[in-house]
Structures are given as structure tokens and as C-alpha cells.
DNA sequence: CTAACTCGGATATCTTCTGTCCGAGACGAC
DNA sequence: GTCGTCTCGGACAGAAGATATCCGAGTTAG
């Protein structure tokens, strides 16, 4: 039950890209966060495939947000990097073994799956309720408006 | 973001153990669910270490619930098998790199972590709200009271 | 037209999960 | 009391996924 560590990088990058107005190369983002550039590239490619960020190729290229930050949820980023499939997969144990439940009695999902699925939905709902713009607002509330000004200047 | 597959086995076993009145050997539980006995043993050992089930050694030994099923939550089982640490671990990226946030400004956890942690709490709350007894009730509601009678006879 | 810079996918390494095995201990039968 | 059998418990390989890296294809600026 461990999430890919790249999710954290991807979220921070999304917040930074929201502050920037010009495309930012992957190498610059890696330097800013002091992480492996080669590996961060992988996460950014995943975000690009999910159409969360857009890649601009060529000399002054880089990445930029593909949509307004208010319409990018944290769940979008998590699913893009870590995969959209739910954490719990029901293998229909009840239909196996000597006392297998007959398939015709399995019109409803099994109780174990229902409980796990409800928790998964709650988790996703919580992540869907927060957008990248919300995160940016929180950063301002914590560290002041100057934080992003500094980042913009450094990029 | 994938959960250990053994969690499903452990939950089903807990429901079965709730129905049984005598200790049930791990091999019997494995046969009932048609899964690897050797690997299921690993999950049961984890439940035993967490004091969710109790092991009875010797000739007529096996496993039995250590507490009433009404006081065993699904979260207890999940944490015992899959680990209690949260899925998201904050590596304090904001304190790294050329524009690192100074430690004295980090009295509050970073916004990214706050969002992920809130979702994790929601997930845990949902799992904590369901007990093994609830799952057993759901099985009865789905398949009738006869299901457990059959299991008891087979054990 | 050249050249430099960018992304993108294909490629090794490594930790974690999955699956298996045999030994220590305990109960019941005799 | 002793033996035999059955049980759990932790130690041991194999597979899968995550981590980290590299070089080639394409594009833009000068």
C-alpha cells in the first residue's frame, strides 16, 4: 500500500508550472527541487500523456499546464502518475473452493469489495476536492506572495 | 498505489473465523478459499502478531478470533497485513534545492502533504467504520443464513 | 542552414511483494 | 510418561513493479 514517490514530485511541479508563464524544461524543474532529472522526466511524460501538462519542443521549449490550474485536481495528477486503477482488486474469492458461491447469486459485488471500494471512493473524493490552484493558494497563505515571485525570477 | 493481495484473503478468513467456533488450521482456510496455503500462512501470522487472531498450537489447533468481531475493524486487518504507514510519504521537497524554504518557515506541514493526508484520513475513517461483524451481516443479507451454516459444517 | 536544445521511449538496477520450504513447539493418544 | 502427529513460526528463493539512467527523434532560434 505504498504510492509511487514520483507523485510528490509531480504535484510540486504542477504548482510551480502554475506560477510560471513560460515553458519550463524538465531539467530546470529537477534542479529547482534537487531530484534526479532523468527520473523526473518520466513523471512529466506521464502528466503529458494524461494531457495535464503540454510539452513545447525545440530551443526554448519545456512544459506548461495544459489547462487552468482551477480545473486540474490532485486526483488527476495522482492517477496520471500512479495509475487510475483502484488499490484493491477483488479476485472473487467467494466463487472459488469447495463451497464456492454460485455465479447466479453474485449479482451484487461481494461485501468485502463493497467496503474497500467505499473507502477508495472516499479517498478519491477527497483528492478530487483539491485543485492545483488550491495548493498554490495554500503556499501563499503559508509563505507569503513572495515565494512565487522568487520562483518566477529563478526560472 | 497497489494494495497487497493478501488483504483480501485476510478479510475473508476473518469473516470465516467469526462463523467458526473451533480453531481452524491455516491449511483448511486455504483449501476453503482455494489459495496457496504457504502464502496464506504469512498473512495469518501477520494477523496473529497484530493480536487480531489468536493461534492455538498442537494437535487440534488452528486460528480463532482474539476479540469479538464487532470490535475488529476492516482497518485493523488492512493495517496488520499491509502495514500501518500512510501511502504518501512527504520527503520535504520544499526544503531542498536552490530556493529551499527555510526550516523556521515550516512549522506547518506542506500543502501537498496536507491534501494527501486528508485523503488518507478519509480512507482510513471509511475502513474504520466497518467491522468484521458488519461484513458477516452483509454476507447473510446477500446469501442467506444458510451460507455460514454450510461453512460451519464443512470446517 | 546550422546548431543547440528539448522531449520521448527503450534500457539496466534495485527494492518490494509473492510464493515456498523446513524446523521448533505443543497437544492428544496410548 | 512417551511417542507420534499435527500445528504454527520464521528463514529462504523467485517474480513483479518501482527507481534511476541513457541515447535517439524532432523542433525551434539564430
- The predicted-structure confidence for B87-111, as pLDDT tens digits, reads as follows 999 999 999 999 999 888 888 999 9
Phi, psi of B111 (to 5 degrees): -55, -40
Strand D, nucleotides < 7 Å from a protein CB: these are 4-11, 17-23, 26-29
Chain A residues near residue B88 by CB distance under 8 angstroms: 3, 7-8
| Å: B74 CA to D7 C1' | 27
Cβ contact B4 with chain D strand, < 7 A: no
Q: Do B4 and A1 touch (CB under 8 A)?
A: yes
C-alpha torsion A6→A11→A16→A21, nearest 10: 110
Give the pLDDT of residue B104: 85
Three-state secondary-structure class, residue B40? helix
The single residue listed with the C-alpha cell 478519491 is A124
Give, for A150, the enclosing helix (H) or strand (E): helix A146-154
Angle CA A29–A58–A31, to nearest 5: 15
Is 90 exceeded by the pLDDT of residue A107?
Answer: no
DSSP string, B24-41: B-HHHHHHHHTS-HHHHH
Chain B residues near residue A9 by CB distance under 8 angstroms: 93
pLDDT digits (tens, 9 = 90+) for A26-36: 999 999 999 99
CB B10 within 8 A of CB B47: yes
pLDDT digits (tens, 9 = 90+) for A24-70: 999 999 999 999 999 999 999 999 999 999 999 999 999 999 999 99
Q: What's the CA gap between B110 and B116, in Å, rounded?
A: 10
Q: What's the CA gap between A29 and A58, in Å, rounded?
A: 17
- A28 touches B: beta carbon within 8 Å: no
Q: Report H helices in B34-145.
A: 37-49, 74-82, 111-128, 132-143
Give the pLDDT of residue B54: 95
Give me the half-sphere count of Cα atoms (radius 13 Å) on the Cβ side of residue B93: 24
Q: Do B74 and A115 touch (CB under 8 A)?
A: yes
Give the pLDDT of residue A129: 97
What integer is the mean pLDDT of B78-95? 94
pLDDT digits (tens, 9 = 90+) for B24-59: 999 999 999 999 999 999 999 999 999 999 999 989
- A91 touches B: beta carbon within 8 Å: yes
Q: What's the CA gap between A25 and A64, in Å, rounded?
A: 9
Q: What's the CA gap between A20 and A64, in Å, rounded?
A: 8
Q: What's the CA gap between A88 and B114, in Å, rounded?
A: 23
A131-135, B40-44, B120-124, B142-146: least confident range: B142-146
Amino acid at each position: 500500500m505504498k504510492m509511487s514517490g514520483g507523485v510528490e514530485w509531480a504535484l510540486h511541479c504542477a504548482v510551480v508550472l502554475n506560477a510560471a508563464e513560460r515553458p519550463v524544461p524538465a531539467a530546470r524543474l529537477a534542479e529547482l527541487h534537487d531530484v534526479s532529472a532523468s527520473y523526473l522526466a518520466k513523471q512529466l511524460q506521464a502528466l503529458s500523456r494524461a494531457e495535464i501538462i503540454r510539452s513545447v519542443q525545440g530551443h526554448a521549449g519545456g512544459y506548461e499546464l495544459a489547462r487552468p490550474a482551477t480545473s486540474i485536481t490532485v486526483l488527476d495528477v495522482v492517477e496520471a502518475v500512479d495509475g487510475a486503477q483502484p488499490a484493491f482488486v477483488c479476485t472473487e474469492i467467494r466463487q472459488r473452493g469447495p463451497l464456492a458461491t454460485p455465479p447466479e447469486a453474485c449479482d451484487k459485488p461481494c461485501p468485502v469489495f463493497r467496503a474497500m471500494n467505499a473507502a477508495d471512493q472516499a479517498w478519491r473524493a477527497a483528492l478530487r476536492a483539491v485543485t492545483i490552484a488550491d495548493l498554490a493558494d495554500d503556499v501563499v497563505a503559508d509563505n507569503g506572495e513572495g515565494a512565487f515571485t522568487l520562483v518566477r525570477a529563478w526560472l
